[in-house]
């Protein structure tokens, strides 16, 4: 019986292929993600925690090949040298054991193991990824249906070109020294794919015209921001004739009279569906309005639940850069998990004795602390102007942080709170930020003006006359 459960660590989309000695690369397999718990019995569970060992009986060999482990990997099946995820989905639909036994002999799956979370009852997720790979190599024996992923250090661009040329989906980049973050979509893991993809929920469809007059025109797509559905666009291309016929059947069981998705253009032309179907959509980029650019249907994802289809897939993590720069096993700084305080926004000024003394001004905005380093301190008298250098966004929890960042870490030195309080926004644009501070030391109207002549992240900070 397993002592703990793990949610899989998730990756963000990379901007493109890159090479770096700080990263290691591996093939991105187009299969079903699964965490395996190997004890006297073998339990293989998908991302939405469904047990699938019965669907893939050949993976029972894990009990001999990797006893006493918890493994993370991808279940794949190959067709003419390339992964064929459709075969996997079809197998998930089979219910008769005689069918599954036949398929497992004719088209056996391979479990590609790329990480280890537990060995001999001890969790290893806090160890650096390099150490976990060494443990993985010693704890797992390869067999006909179980292999260990191959890791390539540094040369991500060459590896990406080779993977795409071989007809593979792309590669994964994983940062050296990183820990395993269960359930977190982390910038320490990045997907490098020829086409960006997003798992979207189908909220409805529009009517078809011409050749598709008997079917549908486009799928109405959304993602969840916490529990709130967010409209991200329509997908009307990428469908085969078989897809059109299949969707028409699926739609009839999901139709609802209510509109479950706000913000859709011409909602009266939409046939609304209960948000229960997940599809994978390829796209080029995301517009400023949060819509997918050039969306194209790829396939139905019956292995994923609507709740997994979150806005985080297309919205960068607000404090990604902050987390990238820090090793939270060493620094006492908060990793960040909270949200904004609501209508009353906080500000904080922290005195930072790093290589050079400076002061950090932080303003709560859109769920993070927008931050500036002010070398000479925040002015207290009207007319004084100070250079303020914009830095990475910090988590809200940083507003209460005081302590010493160890030598060798980013920003090493002692941090203390110089002033703290609430503030109101008068104006917040790309060029100008005007706020009214209500702290113990700082009170009144302050203005930040972008100073592009001095550099991209340079601002001028001054206290406005009363």
Which positions are catalytic?
A: 28
Comparing C-alpha atoms, which of 12, 301, 369, 15 is closest to residue 181? 12
Contact between 39 and 108 under an 8 Å Cβ cutoff? The reply is no
Comparing C-alpha atoms, which of 170, 187, 189 is closest to residue 27? 170
The two three-digit tokens of residue 368, written as one number: 């993070």
Which DSSP letter does residue 148 get? E
Per-residue exposure over 270-305, b if at least 16 CB sit within 10 Å of its own CB, e if not: bebbbbebbbbbbbeebeeebbbeebbbbbbbebbb
Alpha-carbon gap, residue 69 to 373, rounded angstroms: 46
Return the residue matching tokens 């390099």.
Answer: 130
Alpha-carbon gap, residue 394 to 104, rounded angstroms: 50
Return the residue matching tokens 């080029």.
Answer: 284
3: left (phi over 0), alpha (psi -120 to 50) or beta: alpha
Alpha-carbon gap, residue 397 to 185, rounded angstroms: 19
Give how far Cα 442 sits from Cα of 14, 386, 422, 427, Å. Answer: 41, 15, 10, 18
What residue ranges in 152-307 does DSSP mark as E strands?
Answer: 152-154, 170-175, 185-193, 196-207, 216-225, 228-235, 270-283, 285-286, 292-293, 296-300
Alpha-carbon gap, residue 391 to 145, rounded angstroms: 48
Alpha-carbon gap, residue 265 to 112, rounded angstroms: 43
Alpha-carbon gap, residue 396 to 160, rounded angstroms: 37
> What does residue 96 show for φ and ψ, rounded to 5 degrees?
-85, 130
What residue ranges in 309-431 does DSSP mark as E strands?
Answer: 345-353, 357-365, 368-374, 385-394, 403-405, 413-428
């Amino acid at each position: 019986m397993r002592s703990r459960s793990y949610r899989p660590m998730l990756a963000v989309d990379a901007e493109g292929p890159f090479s770096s000695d700080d990263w290691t690369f591996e093939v991105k397999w187009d299969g079903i993600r699964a965490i395996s718990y190997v004890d006297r019995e073998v339990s293989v569970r998908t991302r939405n925690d469904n047990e699938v060992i019965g669907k893939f009986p050949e993976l029972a060999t894990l009990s001999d090949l990797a006893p006493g482990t918890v493994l993370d990997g991808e279940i794949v099946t190959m067709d003419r040298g390339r992964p064929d995820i459709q075969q996997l989905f079809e197998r998930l639909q089979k219910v008769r054991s005689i069918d599954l036994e036949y398929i497992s002999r004719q088209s056996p799956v391979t479990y590609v193991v790329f990480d280890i979370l537990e060995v001999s009852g001890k969790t290893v997720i806090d160890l650096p990824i390099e150490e976990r790979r060494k443990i993985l190599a010693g704890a797992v024996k390869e067999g006909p249906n179980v292999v260990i992923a191959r890791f390539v250090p540094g040369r991500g661009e060459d590896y990406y070109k080779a993977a795409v040329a071989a007809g593979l989906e792309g590669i994964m980049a994983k940062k050296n020294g990183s820990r395993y973050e269960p359930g977190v979509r982390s910038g320490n893991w990045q997907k490098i794919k020829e086409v960006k993809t997003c798992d979207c929920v189908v909220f409805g469809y529009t009517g078809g015209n011409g050749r598709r007059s008997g079917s549908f025109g486009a799928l109405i797509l959304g993602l969840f921001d916490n529990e709130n559905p967010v409209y991200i666009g329509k997908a009307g291309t990428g469908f085969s004739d078989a897809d059109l016929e299949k969707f028409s059947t699926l739609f009839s069981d999901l139709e609802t009279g209510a509109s479950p998705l706000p913000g859709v253009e011409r909602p009266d032309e939409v046939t609304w569906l209960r948000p229960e179907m997940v599809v994978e959509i390829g796209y080029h980029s995301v517009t400023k309005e949060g819509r997918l650019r050039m969306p194209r249907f790829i396939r139905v994802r019956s292995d994923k639940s609507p709740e997994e289809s979150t806005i985080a897939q297309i919205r960068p993590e607000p404090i990604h850069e902050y987390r990238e720069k820090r090793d939270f096993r060493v620094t006492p700084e908060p990793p960040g998990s909270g949200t904004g305080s609501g209508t009353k926004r906080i500000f904080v000024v922290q005195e930072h004795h790093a290589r050079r003394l400076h002061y950090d001004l932080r303003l709560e905005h859109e769920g993070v602390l927008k931050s500036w380093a002010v070398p000479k301190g925040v002015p207290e008298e009207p007319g004084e102007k100070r250079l303020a250098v914009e830095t990475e966004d910090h988590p809200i929890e940083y507003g209460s942080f005081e302590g010493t960042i160890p030598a060798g870490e980013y920003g090493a030195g002692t941090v203390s709170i110089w002033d703290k309080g609430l503030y109101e926004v008068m104006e917040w644009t790309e060029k100008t930020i005007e706020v009214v501070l209500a702290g113990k030391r700082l009170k009144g109207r302050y203005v930040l003006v972008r100073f592009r002549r001095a550099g991209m992240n340079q601002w001028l900070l001054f206290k406005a006359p009363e």
